Amino acid sequence: MSLSELVDAIDGNHLIISPDEKLSLYKYYSNFDCFKKFIQTKKLFFSRISDWKDKREGIISQNDFNEIYDQFRKDYNLSDKDPGLYGNYESHCQFYSILTHYSYGCCFHTSEEESLYMWNEFEGGSSQVAIKTSIGKIKKIVENHSEHQFVIGFVTYDTTMLDNKQYLTDNCFRLFYKRPAYRDEYEYRVLITKPDPYDLLKDKNAGIDSENGKRISVNLEFLIDEIIMRPNADNDLESEIRLLLDDKNGNPSTIKIRKSSL
């Protein structure tokens, strides 16, 4: 599946069963210290979703929720006398708050090349460095960490095409859509979560570090296809990155480093 076909599928809210595992992913770091810790620890950081910048992510208005539930009720011939959990907007918001507080994510940009938008706008500031990898490599890392429950997939940016049954009954579904204003991110998400609220509450503090997140060990040489420095980066940045990559004995890393082509 090409990137253009992928974008059409995401925009059409189609279920993507098997995207091309060679499809490139980029992770942009606006905070160089975060990138530095990633390299030094050889661990990807999964931040708590409730700490993410967009506080409206995954949440729809009560009017939109009522419309979705009304259609759900009609489709499944449900009584309107007792809406239950699915039709209770307050319960919906409360559970989503729990879900995002005890779920963690690591996000990537899907593209065949660098993105000027991501260099300039990601996380509200200019990115310093990016790593390039692929969907296949991310999937392999997930397979190697069976101690966690992962959910992976593409973000949908058209909230008008939500599947009413899936939105109401699949708790993790809400973690994979955003408002259309964020479409330029073309985001691929790797989440650590437990869709059952009781499991979330029982395991709410397991494996959380002081940064309110979780770290997953990775093989840098396997994960990273190349490291890309920001546009107009100076030679000092490249030297600093090379020092980070070299092992304790001073042996040079084989990971490619280059300046942005933009």
* DSSP structural state of residue 206: T
- Whether the per-residue pLDDT at 10 is higher than 50: the answer is no
Higher pLDDT, 24 or 18: 24
Place of tokens 């500031």: 125
Higher pLDDT, 180 or 260: 260
52 pLDDT band, cuts 50/70/90, is: confident
Number of folded domains that form the chain? 1
Between 192 and 14, the higher pLDDT residue: 192
Of 39-53, 153-167, 197-211, the least confident: 197-211
d(CA 147, CA 116): 36
Position 207 pLDDT exceeds 50: yes
Please name the helix (run of DSSP H) or strand (run of DSSP E) that holds residue 152, with its range, or none. strand 150-154
pLDDT at 260 over 70: yes
- DSSP 8-state secondary structure symbol assigned to residue 210: T
The pLDDT of residue 183 is above 90:
no
Q: What are phi and psi of 106, to 5 degrees?
A: -130, 125
Phi and psi angles of residue 173, each rounded to the nearest 5 degrees, phi first = -55, -35
Beta carbons of 179 and 157 less than 8 angstroms apart: yes
Rounded to 5 degrees, what angle do the CA atoms 99, 213, 169 make? 15
Asked whether the predicted pLDDT for residue 171 surpasses 60, the reply is yes
DSSP-based three-state secondary structure for 179: coil
Determine the Cα–Cα distance for residues 153 and 174; give it in Å rounded to an integer. 12
What token pair was written down for 85?
């959990």
Model pLDDT, residue 172: 79
Residue 245 in contact with residue 39, Cβ under 8 Å?
A: yes
What's the CA gap between 47 and 106, in Å, rounded?
Answer: 7
Q: Judge whether 242 and 257 are in contact, CB under 8 Å.
A: yes
> Maximum distance among all alpha carbons in the chain?
71
CB 59 within 8 A of CB 240: no
**Domain span including residue 167:** 3-259
> pLDDT at position 206, please?
55
Query: Looking at per-residue confidence, does 179 or 8 come out higher?
Result: 179
Instruction: Tell me the H-state helices in 25-131.
Output: 32-41, 62-75, 89-101, 116-121
| pLDDT tens-digit map of 101-156 | 888 999 999 998 898 889 887 655 566 899 999 999 999 999 999 888 898 989 88
Phi, psi of 229 (to 5 degrees): -90, 155
**What six digits make up the tokens of 110?**
């899907």
Least confident piece of the model among 154-163, 169-178, 184-193: 154-163
pLDDT higher than threshold 60 for residue 12: no
Q: How confident is the model at residue 177 (pLDDT cuts 50, 70, 90)?
A: confident
pLDDT digits (tens, 9 = 90+) for 223-241: 999 999 998 888 899 999 9
48 pLDDT higher than 60: yes
pLDDT band at 159 (very low <50, low <70, confident <90, very high): low
∠52-166-191 over CA atoms, to 5°?
Answer: 35
pLDDT of 44 strictly over 90: yes
Instruction: Quote the tokens at residue 203.
Output: 């395991």
Mean pLDDT taken over the chain: 79
